[in-house]
Amino acid sequence: MENQPSRLTAIALAFMAVIWVSPFSWLVLNAFNPLSTGQLEIPKAFGFDNFGLAVSGNAGRQFLNSIIIAAGTATLSVIVGISAAYPLSRLRIPGRNAFLWTLVLLRMLPSAGVLVPLYFAAQRSGLLNQLGVIVALTILNLPFTLLLLKNFFDTVPIELEEAAYVEGASLIQIVTKIVLPMSRAGIAVVWFFSFTGAWNEFLLPLIFARVQDAFPMSVGLYAAFGQQGAINYGFLTAFSILYAAPAIGVYFLLRRNMNTGFAGVGVKG
């Protein structure tokens, strides 16, 4: 029942993939070139020196910090988001759409304006640490999370919930056994989105961290920028490959969920 792509489609897709991936030649050629200069050239030498440099020093600690911040933010965002988005989707609260859209719009105000009050609030509540970064990022994510999750819950047919209720299921059971599995793709997308956003966040962890060991990889990347603005391209490219890899790994772990949709769920309730 899956339609096979026509040959034309397949060629078009393959062509696109090549175009999309070709700029990476620069990244890879420089990363494996111990004498990298930042130019696009076939390396005269080949080696893992840059990767050795990238994993030396604090990289392990920074990797852990990145994981804590990213996974923490994503999980907290999704939990807070689900428990508010479900009522928002099901209860007829007047003006809920306009309210959510306004919230999303408000997030346009620059981090420059929000950063200063945010910093002072974190300082007053003793949150100038990783928990503070997680909470701050969750706050900043929340408008997006809520709107997205609500939209996904909206597409779950309410008839299924009725049927479950008639069969004696409680609210908690209805949510966990029916609504969440049916919105799995949406939840996975929201989780992944929060994860990558936090993974790449630079300024908040830089400003909130009180000790050297609290920096994540997004800060560590800047070790490539040396004196007088001289950039170590070998380090930069190797480090960024290592930096992007875990997030891609997470994508593949989640991919099944993002694409399952109805497949794994008893549609008839």
Partner 1 sequence: MKNQANPWLTGNLFVLALGMLPAILLIGALLYFTAWAFAFSFTDLALVGKKSVEWSWVGFENFERLFTRRGFLESLWTTVIFVFFSAIVGQSVLGFLLAATLRGTQSSIRGVVEVCIMLGWLLPDIVAAFLWSATTSQTGLINQLFVVPFGFKPINFINDYALPIVTIANVWKGTAWSYLLFSAALDSVSREVVEAAKVDGATPFQRVWLVQLPIIRPHIATNMLFITIWTFTYFPLIFAMTGGGPGRQTETLAVFLYNQSFSRGNLGFGSAISVAMLLIVGVLSLFYLRMLREPK
Partner 2 sequence: MLRTGFLTTVAAISLMAAATIPARAEVSIMYMESFAALIESGIEKFEAETGETVNAIKLPGQGYDQRIALDLSAGTAADVNLIDSFMVSELAAAGYLEPLGTQLAGWDQFQYYLQGLLEVASYQGEVYALPTDTDVRMLWYDLSNFEKAGIATPWAPKNWADILDAATKLKEAGVQYPFQLPAGTKQAEAATMQGVYMALLGADVPEGDRNRLLKRDTNQWIGDSPALRRVFDLYHQVYVAQELNPADLNYATDIGAAVRAALANDQLGILASGSWEDACLWDCNNPPSREERDAQVGWTPWPGSGEPGTKATTNISGGWTLGINANAADKETAFKLLTTIFDEENFKAWTLANHRMGVRTDISESAEYTADPFLAEATGLAADTTGRDTIPGYQTVSALIQQATSDLLDGVSVEEAIETYHNALVDEFGEENVITYE
Euclidean distance between CA atoms 185 and 197, whole angstroms? 18
| 107 backbone dihedrals φ, ψ, rounded to 5° | -65, -10
Residues in region 37-76 near partner 2 by CB under 8 A:
37-39
Q: CA-CA distance, 160 to 179, in Å (whole number)? A: 9
Of these partners, partner 1, partner 2, none, which one is at the site of residue 244 (CB under 5 to 8 Å by kind)?
partner 1
Task: Find which of partner 2, partner 1, none residue 47 binds, CB within 5 to 8 Å per kind.
Answer: none
> Binding of partner 1 at residue 4 (CB under 8 A)?
yes
Query: Does the protein bind partner 2 through residue 3 (CB under 8 A)?
Result: no
Does residue 136 touch partner 2 according to CB under 8 A? no
Q: Are 150 and 88 in contact (CB under 8 A)?
A: yes
Helical H runs in 200-227? Answer: 203-208, 217-220
Residue 264: which H helix or E strand, with range? none
Q: How far is the CB of 246 from partner 2 (least distance, A)?
A: 21
For partner 2, which residue of 125, 155, 170, 259 counts as binding (CB under 8 A)? 125
Check residue 21 for interaction with partner 1 (CB under 8 A).
Answer: yes
For residue 172, CA distances in Å to 54, 120, 161, 177, 219 come to 47, 38, 11, 8, 41
Number of residues interacting with partner 1: please give it, by CB under 8 A.
104
Report 180-219 residues binding partner 2 (CB under 8 A).
202-203, 206-207, 209-214, 219
Which residue is it, tokens 């391209």?
233
Is residue 35 close enough to count as binding partner 1 by CB under 8 A? no
* Nearest alpha-carbon partner for 122 in 137, 144, 109: 137
Residue 84 in contact with partner 1, rule: CB under 8 A: yes
- Restricting to residues 95-134, name those near partner 1 by CB under 8 A: 97-98, 101, 103-110, 112-114, 116-118, 121
Buried b (16+ CB within 10 A) or exposed e, 215-252: bbbbbbbebbeeeeeeebbbbbbbbbbbbeebeeebee
Site for partner 1 in 187-226 (CB under 8 A): 188-189, 192-193, 196, 199-200, 218, 221
* Binding footprint of partner 2 on the chain (CB under 8 A): 37-39, 115-117, 119-120, 123-129, 202-203, 206-207, 209-214, 219, 222-223, 225-232
